[in-house]
Amino acid sequence: MSGYAKGIVALLCAWFAVAVTASALGVFQGNVNGFGAAVGAAALVPILVFFVWFAASPRLRTFLLSLNPRTLTAVQAWRILGFVFVLLEAHQLLPARFALPAGYGDMTIGMTATFVAWKLAVPRWRGAFIFWQALGIADLMIAVGTGITAPMMNPQGVSMTPMTALPLSLIPTFFVPLLLMLHVISIAQARRWQRVEGASRGPVAVGRVA
């Protein structure tokens, strides 16, 4: 592993440690009904940092785009654990407005991730691969959106409090931003496949792609 790769891994470990520590200290439990500003900031800041860094650093882009898209996609398989949201909703521990779309959406992405990683992560299926990655992003956005709005839509209903304490607090503060980043990297990789393939065929092919 290169020194740059080790630095990225160390940064991810530090981010995870901060998320765990903040959760253990109760930083994210300031709002009894919903996520609260602390959870929102913990989810949004890493995403903003990623996009700015990705846009500004050619070295980071080169490194991330060199990663194996099959591996990045296969990681999404862990989202099969979205069934936990459904179970918690069944026990009245999470609101249905959040738990059902988030749970079933995650399970769908998780159950299809391995197939997409090993069958669609090739130039031939570029469009389908990008479409699936976009669905994964949409699922994450729906989960975040319903998590924020559920307490507003029904203030007297089931609370989102379990999502602000360990271990579930790590989902919005670490895993959701990380998985969104992996989706974005995978899409950026796939968008280059046709160009690379066309370049190997000569100027005519490149012209058609443009």
Q: Name the pLDDT band for 37 (thresholds 50, 70, 90).
A: confident
- In this prediction, residue 35 carries a pLDDT of 67
- Give mean pLDDT, residues 124-145: 97
Confidence (pTM): 0.90
Which one is predicted more confidently, 33 or 45? 45
What's the pLDDT score for residue 200? Answer: 45
155: confidence class by pLDDT, cuts 50, 70, 90: confident
Q: Residue 29: which pLDDT band, with cuts at 50, 70 and 90?
A: confident
Helical pair 58-65 and 176-199, crossing angle rounded to 10 deg? 80
